[in-house]
Amino acid sequence: MYAGSAGHLDLLHTLGLDSPSVIFAPSAFSPSSCRVASEIADLIVFANSPRQYALIREHAPKARIGVRVRAPYLSPPLNGYSDKHYLAASPRIGMPRSRVLEWASHPAGHAANIYGLHLYPGTNITSLDLLFGVDGRPGVYDEVFSIAERLPSIKVLDLGGGMPSTFHYPFDCPLWQDWSRQLSERIERFRREHRSIDVLFEFGRAIVAESGLFVTTVLDIVEDEQTPTLVCDASMSMFPRPYIYESASKDHPVCVINSDRSGPAKRYVIAGSTTFSGDLLHTGALLSEVTVGDRLAFHNAGAYCASMSSRFLGCMRPAEYLLTQDGLLLDASIRGRHNV
Ligand X SMILES: Cc1ncc(COP(=O)(O)O)c(C=O)c1O
* Contact (CB, 8 A) for 97 and 143: yes
Cβ-based nearer residue to ligand X, 72 or 228: 72
**DSSP H/E element including 217:** strand 214-222
With H, G, I as helix, E, B as strand and everything else as coil, classify residue 6. helix
Candidate ranges 16-24, 36-44, 126-134, 204-212; the one touching ligand X (CB under 6 A): 204-212
C-alpha radius of gyration, the chain, whole number: 23
Cβ-based nearer residue to ligand X, 248 or 315: 248
Cβ-based nearer residue to ligand X, 4 or 77: 4
Nearest to 17 by CA among 45, 40, 44: 40
With H, G, I as helix, E, B as strand and everything else as coil, classify residue 292. coil
Q: Which of 206, 230, 236, 306 binds ligand X (CB under 6 A)?
A: 206
**Residue 144 Cβ vs ligand X, minimum distance, rounded to whole Å:** 13
Cβ-based nearer residue to ligand X, 116 or 204: 204
212 contacts ligand X (rule: CB under 6 A): no
* Contact (CB, 8 A) for 144 and 32: no
Cβ-based nearer residue to ligand X, 50 or 162: 162
121 contacts ligand X (rule: CB under 6 A): no
120 contacts ligand X (rule: CB under 6 A): yes
Q: How many residues bind ligand X (CB under 6 A)?
A: 13
**DSSP H/E element including 249:** helix 246-251
Candidate ranges 146-154, 188-196, 201-209, 319-327; the one touching ligand X (CB under 6 A): 201-209
Measured between alpha carbons, how far is residue 94 from residues 101, 143, 197, 211 in Å?
A: 13, 12, 21, 30
DSSP 102-141: HHHH-TT-SGGG--EEEE---SS---HHHHHEETTEEPTT
139 contacts ligand X (rule: CB under 6 A): no
Residue nearest to ligand X (CB): 161
Candidate ranges 108-116, 197-205, 259-267, 319-327; the one touching ligand X (CB under 6 A): 197-205
Cβ-based nearer residue to ligand X, 161 or 272: 161
Candidate ranges 196-204, 246-254, 271-279, 332-340; the one touching ligand X (CB under 6 A): 196-204
Enter the DSSP assignment of 261: -
Cβ-based nearer residue to ligand X, 4 or 212: 4
Candidate ranges 133-141, 166-174, 199-207, 244-252; the one touching ligand X (CB under 6 A): 199-207
91: left (phi over 0), alpha (psi -120 to 50) or beta: beta
Nearest to 339 by CA among 308, 306, 301: 306
**DSSP H/E element including 328:** strand 327-330
Q: How many CB atoms lie within 10 A of CB 18?
A: 22
Segment 155-194, which members bind ligand X (CB under 6 A)?
Answer: 160-162
Segment 271-330, which members bind ligand X (CB under 6 A)?
Answer: 303
Cβ-based nearer residue to ligand X, 164 or 272: 164
141 contacts ligand X (rule: CB under 6 A): no
Residues in contact with ligand X by CB under 6 A are 4, 25, 120, 123, 160-162, 202-206, 303
